[in-house]
């Protein structure tokens, strides 16, 4: 792997433009002198990627690469997830989990294309994302250096309050503040919320927490009906009209969100042995999972269904 002309190493950072990666980008540059290439995956985050190239460059990136991976995300990841019926600990539909290997795969491809010697991520040392990213990196190219600032002793921004202060000092625009400080991850399938007042399991989610869906108290008291057609386990039509997977999920997100469908509040067990409280919104995904289960109940014989 080649270095840049001035001898500094190039690294590809999985960049969302959120709080963690917004401060990690300039930190990598000022701490180790890396030339940072920001890689952003378009996975259906809504308007979160608006202006992300300018933000990355203003924060010190030498380049920002954005790839639209929505079609691949749906066809190669979400449809197999739906067909398998995978639900973690009875509630979590794996919205963050399922996207990480896809991001890491394209990060490695970007590193190869750009002549980078390393790949970096903003996952903490106490969560599952570090495992998802790093196992994918190692599987696809074990020669790449893996840079994980949250596990680096030199990284002192290990609270969201400290990260907010660092961002202000370096004039990096962020949405978070010390009062609005949820850790969120959004894509076409879901949005997750962690941290802040949710750390206490006695606190119920506030109404202003929700992004993809309405609070239950504001949902309409009249139902809507939708017809979903499946072929070999894959949704192919909505209300009789054939459409692509991305559009199906987007449409169901709006419909489900209107009716507060897919709100899940769980305290889950992480791979590293700690518990984590998360609130998830998966409106379209929940409709699809329930429709798929209903179809299975009609079509699968007893032994097949019980085996599954």
- Res. 2: pLDDT tops 60: no
Please state the φ and ψ torsions of residue 53, each to the nearest 5 degrees: -65, -45
Q: State how far the Cα of 160 lies from the Cα of 279, in Å rounded to an integer.
A: 18
What is the H or E stretch that residue 30 is in?
A: helix 19-32
Q: What is the pLDDT of residue 240?
A: 97
Fold agreement between 10-177 and 184-307: no
- Res. 113: pLDDT tops 80: yes
Collect all residues with Cβ–Cβ distance below 8 Å to 155 and sequence separation of at least 6: 27, 31, 149
| 183 a catalytic residue | yes
- Res. 3: pLDDT tops 60: no
- CATH class of the 184-307 domain in this structure: alpha beta
- Res. 163: pLDDT tops 70: yes
Domain ranges of the chain: 10-177, 184-307
Please state the φ and ψ torsions of residue 108, each to the nearest 5 degrees: -65, -45
Candidates 37, 33, 34, 32; CA nearest to 12 is: 37
Q: For residue 241, what are the β-bridge partners?
A: 238
- Res. 212: pLDDT tops 80: yes
Residue from 183, 192, 213, 260 carrying the catalytic annotation: 183
What superfamily does domain 10-177 belong to in CATH?
Answer: HUPs (3.40.50.620)
- Res. 172: pLDDT tops 90: no
* Segment 180-206, tens digit of pLDDT: 578 889 999 999 999 889 999 999 999
What is 66-123 written as a DSSP string? Answer: EEE-HHHIIIIIIHHHHHHT--BTTTB--TTGGGHHHHHHHHHHHHHHHT-SEEE---
Per-residue pLDDT band for 175 (boundaries 50, 70, 90) equals: confident
Q: What is the pLDDT of residue 283?
A: 98
Q: What is the mean pLDDT of residues 169-178?
A: 74
| 129 a catalytic residue | yes
Q: What is the pLDDT of residue 1?
A: 40
Per-residue pLDDT band for 159 (boundaries 50, 70, 90) equals: confident
Per-residue pLDDT band for 176 (boundaries 50, 70, 90) equals: low
Q: What is the pLDDT of residue 86?
A: 94
| 100 a catalytic residue | yes
Q: Could you give the strand order of the β-sheet that contains 183-186, starting from the edge strand earlier in sequence?
A: 183-186, 191-194, 275-281, 263-269
Cα dihedral 208, 209, 212, 216 in deg (nearest 10): -70
| DSSP class of 197 | G
Q: State how far the Cα of 87 lies from the Cα of 262, in Å rounded to an integer.
A: 13
Q: What is the pLDDT of residue 136?
A: 98
Q: What is the mean pLDDT of residues 79-93?
A: 95
Residue from 100, 132, 184, 186 carrying the catalytic annotation: 100
Lowest mean pLDDT among 176-190, 207-221, 267-281: 176-190
- Quote the tokens at residue 119: 């790949």
- Res. 158: pLDDT tops 90: no
Candidates 205, 214, 207; CA nearest to 260 is: 214
Residue from 16, 129, 185, 192 carrying the catalytic annotation: 129
Per-residue pLDDT band for 301 (boundaries 50, 70, 90) equals: very high
Is the pTM of the predicted complex or chain greater than 0.85? yes
Q: State how far the Cα of 165 lies from the Cα of 212, in Å rounded to an integer.
A: 29
| 20 a catalytic residue | yes
Per-residue pLDDT band for 241 (boundaries 50, 70, 90) equals: very high
Q: What is the pLDDT of residue 160?
A: 75
Q: What is the pLDDT of residue 179?
A: 57
- Res. 134: pLDDT tops 60: yes
Q: What is the mean pLDDT of residues 40-46?
A: 95
């Amino acid at each position: 792997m080649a270095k840049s002309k001035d001898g500094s190493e190039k690294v590809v950072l999985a960049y969302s433009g959120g709080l963690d990666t917004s401060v990690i980008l300039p930190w990598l540059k000022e701490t180790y002198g890396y030339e940072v290439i920001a890689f952003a995956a378009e996975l259906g985050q809504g308007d979160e990627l608006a202006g992300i190239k300018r933000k990355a460059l203003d924060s010190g990136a030498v380049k920002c690469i954005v790839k639209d991976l929505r079609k691949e995300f749906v066809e190669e990841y979400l449809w197999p997830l739906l067909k398998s019926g995978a639900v973690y600990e009875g509630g979590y539909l794996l919205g963050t989990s399922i996207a990480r290997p896809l991001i890491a795969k394209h990060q490695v491809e970007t590193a190869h294309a750009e002549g980078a010697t390393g790949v970096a991520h903003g996952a903490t040392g106490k969560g599952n994302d570090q495992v998802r990213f790093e196992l994918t990196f190692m599987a696809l190219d074990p020669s790449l250096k893996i840079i994980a600032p949250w596990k680096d002793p030199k990284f002192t921004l290990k609270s969201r309050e400290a990260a907010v202060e660092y961002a202000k000092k370096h004039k990096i625009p962020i949405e978070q503040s010390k009062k609005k400080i949820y850790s969120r991850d959004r894509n076409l399938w879901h949005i997750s919320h962690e941290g802040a007042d949710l750390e206490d399991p006695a606190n119920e989610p506030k109404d202003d927490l929700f992004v993809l869906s309405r609070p239950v108290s504001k949902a309409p008291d009249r139902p809507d009906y939708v017809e979903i057609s499946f072929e070999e386990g894959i949704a192919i039509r909505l209300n009789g009209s054939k459409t692509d997977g991305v559009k199906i999920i987007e449409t169901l997100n709006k419909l489900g969100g209107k009716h507060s469908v897919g709100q899940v509040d769980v305290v889950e067990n992480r791979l590293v042995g700690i518990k984590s409280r998360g609130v998830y919104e998966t409106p379209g995904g929940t409709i699809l999972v329930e429709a798929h289960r209903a179809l299975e109940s009609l079509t699968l014989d007893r032994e097949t269904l019980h085996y599954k």
